[in-house]
Amino acid sequence: MDTNNRLSNYGKRQAPGEDVAPAEKPLTIEELCRLQTQRALDIVIEIMEDPTAQKRSRLDAALAILDRGHGKPTIKHEQAVVITLQDTLKQIALKEQRYQEVIADVEVIEEAPDAVLIDWGDSV
């Protein structure tokens, strides 16, 4: 359905006795705003080109046009990561220690599996 036609009937009441048209979905806020795109762009261009406007207003207007015409520039985040051999060796030692703890736990379970399982019987 044509958006302009929907807008022209937006908010109008139907007179008694008029044919009942199928219910039209009201315009969303996005659709209403898009209908004003050209007008808004004209205003932005007017501000941008106005030599009496403050420089900040002119700059904002120019940037708004650039952002919408070409997209906002992406922001790159860079971070230097320095890992020393000493740091790597510490990480390996910690992992080795944890590995040995897990092995010890497994050995305890293998030696006495009944000690790990608790039989609560009928007391629960």
Domain spans of the chain, in order of start: 3-70
Closest CA to 67 of 57, 59, 56: 59
Tens-binned pLDDT, residue by residue, of the chain (124 aa): 455 555 555 555 556 666 655 667 888 888 887 788 888 888 888 888 888 988 888 888 888 877 777 777 777 777 777 788 888 889 999 999 998 888 887 777 777 656 555 555 665 4
Q: Is the pTM higher than 0.95?
A: no
Question: Sign of the CA dihedral 31, 35, 38, 42?
Answer: negative
> What DSSP assignment string belongs to 18-60?
S--PPPPPPPPHHHHHHTTHHHHHHHHHHHHH-TTS-HHHHHH
